[in-house]
Structure 1
């Protein structure tokens, strides 16, 4: 008897402890609105329950049967335990607790329909209402296919547990997946995720739901909470990317400012923020990158590459060359970046008249891109005057691409895409051919010693270029880039009305067309100024040049645009203003530019600066011994 009495006391204590725990206040959740809704359902549930009928009770039998059932359950005699639990309930049929115990055991045997009947009956009884009782009803209604009832009891159960029953909360989320209630599912995952430390599978499901529902702000909040919980830097990167998509650049930059490690995540964050800043202000993007690179010491080959390109644009050429070379050497596994770095180095070399280096870098760019930079390489040969080599390369390439066909066996969609790519390549090579013709023609036109046959060849070269471009426009009349080259070439050929009509058409194109509007404005504006057909033409030309300057900032072309502006002021008789503008130009960059010396000599002469004009015209004669303006100046001086 002592052993049985001890067991009875232990079980009684457990029951009391269970009741005490179930009635203790739980941690308050953030789901107050949901709790209010659940409370309303609780009232409805209570109101739907009639007063419990008075059942005959045999408490002694009920207690004895219950205790024996528990004892047998602990020993593994489940069937006997189930039978005794049923006997206990039959002896005390008004006991809510026993009713749900029986229902639970029937459910575990797999007889869900009978279990639901017992659970519904038990739910009408008075007594302490436990979260696990509501959970049982919810699960049984799910199996019964009664979605509304299942939802009701899930919420009652969660409310009873103050949303601290993670198993029930997770089961509710599975139910919501079944019924496809995405809005409620998002709310439940918000409650569940912090409790499971943002478990990856649940986190990704919540992320996918928010993306599907276009809840970008909620995505940022989710990523921020997930990163705070487990410091997963991939979440930090995603958060920055979404902030950028939302145009919340200041917030994205604030995160980037905290990044100090030179790894792939930091690199992607910085590149993303830098690119977003550059959309509004390229100089600000450059300053941001400089701070991260030099002050915060966040350095990767790709960031070095970007820094080199920004320095090139800002004309900080010495530093640009160092960083672009470094990037090209370190980015061997990323040929696109390597090719771009060498392209920029080739351009710098050309601007410095370093023809040997320009060709070397252009060849390296083509090698890195596995032949993808052939048009640029041919153009470089043309820039440095190696015309025969450029034409030979383009002749070979045109022969290949003009007859190219997709390999046998390629599906039709892929074949069509390949043909489009081949057509683009063919167009690029023809365009390069035309431009190199104009380079060669320009060299001959600048040559004071050019013979008549050479001049005739220059004219023919420009006509051939025109034919190339006309054929390109026949294939694609929307190609405005080709029209730019045509307009410039027509002007050089003396076909001014045709040229200017093209320029007017180009100026009407939208900013999004990709055209280099400052270059177009300066070329057209300078042509109007230099022809000097009327005061109105000069005014129009000067206005266009000023617009080009306003759009250019500190770009390399700025000095050429300043020269155009000064010449426009000279044409208007504003000699002092013209000279002041010429003084803004760095003479070191103009030592081989005959047009610059022609202009400054004329302006100095107009201002009565004879000594300065004499020096300028002497420099001009060294570049072009037969220049008519210089010869006229010295002829007048002798008289």
Structure 2
């Protein structure tokens, strides 16, 4: 065997030498391909040589079998030599030509491999996908993109697009030439066959997003979800449907989710938020169904439910859910702070001063001091003015002198200064508002002496100075103008106040102003002053607009009171009383204005017993109220 093996090696070496000589440019032999034959390089694959090649099939067959045998033993160089010998013996054999070209390519001689592959491609024989693939890869290396694309497609067609390796290689080529449209097509074929491999899926997703093909993105996500059940893809699909304003399809998916997990939560929140943009009540109804009927319950959904219940004035349930959410969302301080803020507001609406402060302090703690303005305001609401002013004095001292740390780049320093200025403005605004709270308390106090009344007047003037300074720095600050307009009205500067209200009503809806509150305050002021029938009509119209916009907000009952007073001013006493009956009396037990209004309306309707009850409640709140005293003295009819 050793002698035979030596003979084979010598024979193979001899064949290589003959091959090298026969392919030399000077001979231009038609039997072997040459780099100097450009026609072969440019010929279309459908064209074939008409040359009849000499054949020595016995030698070709024997050399091929030996080459395969040696290849299996790991003797690659000798196998290559024998495969070349087989091709020399049968130069018209397409299969052998591509085998030689493939081996030359594996040696790293791509240029020579391309010449052999081009020649082999012009030979008759069975067209195999891997032969086209070899041509495609060699053209890629040569930098001939059009030819590479052509042979990739021929190879894929031949393999009926089932050759995953070739599909993937073609996708890499398309990345190089930046043909996104074709790349999307190829990934669309490849992805289902690799079960939506994450890296390829993400690339296809990115491409479709860059091309703004949102509908195709939805189809991709749906197909991937159906293939592997990845619910994160379902959530992404809903997100894109919502961006496309395909709410019906998104909601249909949301209706199917029944598990209390993060994906279900994101789907429900996305759909709920989109519904709320058009109809908040519908969003609330949708959330309640998912929470109570479908039992999809997470801390975030509990938090949203609590806020919706607060808006709907279902306060007992709101308190339960907001507390539960605050306790469970410890790792998400923004939600915790918002829940405690709402709880503080509910406590204030119920005149529960102790819990109002407790929850406001909790909100500030959860936000790591980010709720200081709200906390100071709460102290002001409950009458703890010394504590409120002390907190604001210390904060203003810090923020008025604040400068960026040394070493911070200029861009960051500018952004930090802007944030500091915003904080400084918030604290000054809070200071001004607390002045008005204190003034209002004094003004409502029937026992207030002249000194206290003077202090109240001065407090409103100091608030005015704060707000004027804020407007000097930013004349576009309409939120500050709202407080100024209200304060001016309380100071008796009606023309200035009403002119500012008119300016505010001309602002766009996008300005972020609380238009129902503005309309109600201004409208009620016009009604209460009763300067003319025109003013009363204007005021009543504004209050009705406020009611139309308010929905079921906590402020609705105050707006109903304003409307009833407007109807009273117009002499429509029965209608006024019907409106007052829409107000929940238990929410008004400490509201002197409510008892004053309903008492006056009841007197106008001859309801003496009911009026007696109302005026007694009013006298408990204000023992010196002139209307109540007049009623009981018999001078009010």
Whether TM-score is above 0.5 comes out as: yes
Question: Is contact 1:563-1:582 (8 Å) kept?
Answer: yes
Q: Does 1:304 align with 2:302?
A: yes
Q: Which moved more, 1:263-272 or 1:427-436?
A: 263-272
**In structure 1, what is the equivalent of residue 107 of structure 2?**
109
Cα deviation, 1:305-332, whole Å, max 9, x if unaligned, reads 1111111111111111111111111222
**In structure 1, what is the equivalent of residue 341 of structure 2?**
343
The equivalent position to 1:250 in structure 2, one of 240, 248, 251, is 248
Question: Is contact 2:45-2:122 (8 Å) kept?
Answer: no
* Deviation of 1:57 (Å): 2.2
Q: Which moved more, 1:541-550 or 1:171-180?
A: 171-180
- Inter-CA distance 230–50: structure 2 relative to 1 (3 Å threshold): closer
Question: Is contact 1:507-1:517 (8 Å) kept?
Answer: yes
Q: Secondary structure at the match of 1:258?
A: coil
The equivalent position to 1:377 in structure 2, one of 371, 375, 380, is 375
Q: Which moved more, 1:617-626 or 1:126-135?
A: 617-626
* Deviation of 1:255 (Å): 2.1
* Deviation of 1:579 (Å): 1.4
* Deviation of 1:262 (Å): 2.0
**In structure 2, what is the equivalent of residue 493 of structure 1?**
491
Q: Secondary structure at the match of 1:466?
A: helix
* Deviation of 1:356 (Å): 0.9
- Inter-CA distance 106–506: structure 2 relative to 1 (3 Å threshold): same
* Deviation of 1:635 (Å): 4.0
**In structure 2, what is the equivalent of residue 600 of structure 1?**
598
Any runs of at least 4 consecutive aligned residues in structure 1 with deviations exceeding 6 A, and if so which?
Answer: 44-47
* Deviation of 1:48 (Å): 5.4
Question: Is contact 1:197-1:230 (8 Å) kept?
Answer: yes
Question: Is contact 1:52-1:94 (8 Å) kept?
Answer: no
Structure 2: distance between partners of 1:442 and 1:342:
26
**In structure 2, what is the equivalent of residue 191 of structure 1?**
189
Question: Is contact 1:327-1:338 (8 Å) kept?
Answer: yes
- Inter-CA distance 577–61: structure 2 relative to 1 (3 Å threshold): same
**In structure 1, what is the equivalent of residue 408 of structure 2?**
410
**In structure 2, what is the equivalent of residue 140 of structure 1?**
138
**In structure 2, what is the equivalent of residue 387 of structure 1?**
385
Structure 2: distance between partners of 1:557 and 1:260:
35
**In structure 2, what is the equivalent of residue 83 of structure 1?**
81
Cα deviation, 1:549-578, whole Å, max 9, x if unaligned, reads 111111111111111111111111111111
**In structure 1, what is the equivalent of residue 519 of structure 2?**
521
* Deviation of 1:634 (Å): 3.7
* Deviation of 1:191 (Å): 0.7
Question: Is contact 1:52-1:124 (8 Å) kept?
Answer: no
Q: Does 1:65 align with 2:91?
A: no
* Deviation of 1:459 (Å): 0.7
Q: Secondary structure at the match of 2:255?
A: helix
* Deviation of 1:613 (Å): 2.5
Question: Is contact 1:618-1:630 (8 Å) kept?
Answer: yes
Q: Does 1:214 align with 2:212?
A: yes
**In structure 2, what is the equivalent of residue 228 of structure 1?**
226
**In structure 2, what is the equivalent of residue 24 of structure 1?**
none
Structure 2: distance between partners of 1:638 and 1:534:
23
* Deviation of 1:376 (Å): 0.9
Question: Is contact 2:60-2:90 (8 Å) kept?
Answer: yes
* Deviation of 1:164 (Å): 0.9
Q: Does 1:631 align with 2:605?
A: no
**In structure 2, what is the equivalent of residue 177 of structure 1?**
175
Question: Cα RMSD between the aligned structures?
Answer: 1.8
* Deviation of 1:636 (Å): 4.2
- Inter-CA distance 538–638: structure 2 relative to 1 (3 Å threshold): closer
Q: Which moved more, 1:251-260 or 1:362-371?
A: 251-260
Q: 5 Å matches for 1:123-134? A: 123-134=121-132
Q: Which moved more, 1:132-141 or 1:284-293?
A: 284-293
The equivalent position to 2:262 in structure 1, one of 254, 261, 264, is 264
* Deviation of 1:236 (Å): 2.1
- Inter-CA distance 638–393: structure 2 relative to 1 (3 Å threshold): closer
Q: 5 Å matches for 1:284-299? A: 284-299=282-297
Question: Is contact 2:576-2:601 (8 Å) kept?
Answer: yes
Question: Is contact 1:97-1:127 (8 Å) kept?
Answer: yes
**Aligned residue pairs: how many?**
596
Q: Which moved more, 1:416-425 or 1:535-544?
A: 416-425
Question: Is contact 1:100-1:122 (8 Å) kept?
Answer: yes
Q: Does 1:589 align with 2:587?
A: yes
Structure 1: distance between partners of 2:334 and 2:423:
17
Question: Is contact 1:52-1:126 (8 Å) kept?
Answer: no
Cα deviation, 1:252-311, whole Å, max 9, x if unaligned, reads 222222222222222222222222222122122222222222222222222211111111
Q: Which moved more, 1:459-468 or 1:596-605?
A: 596-605
Q: Which moved more, 1:436-445 or 1:75-84?
A: 75-84
* Deviation of 1:502 (Å): 0.4
Question: Is contact 1:526-1:545 (8 Å) kept?
Answer: yes
Q: Which moved more, 1:306-315 or 1:599-608?
A: 599-608
Q: 5 Å matches for 1:231-630? A: 231-630=229-628
Structure 2: distance between partners of 1:166 and 1:84:
31
TM-score by length of 1: 0.90
Cα deviation, 1:503-522, whole Å, max 9, x if unaligned, reads 00000111111111000000
* Deviation of 1:50 (Å): 4.6
Cα deviation, 1:179-221, whole Å, max 9, x if unaligned, reads 1111111111111111111111111211221222222221221
* Deviation of 1:233 (Å): 2.3
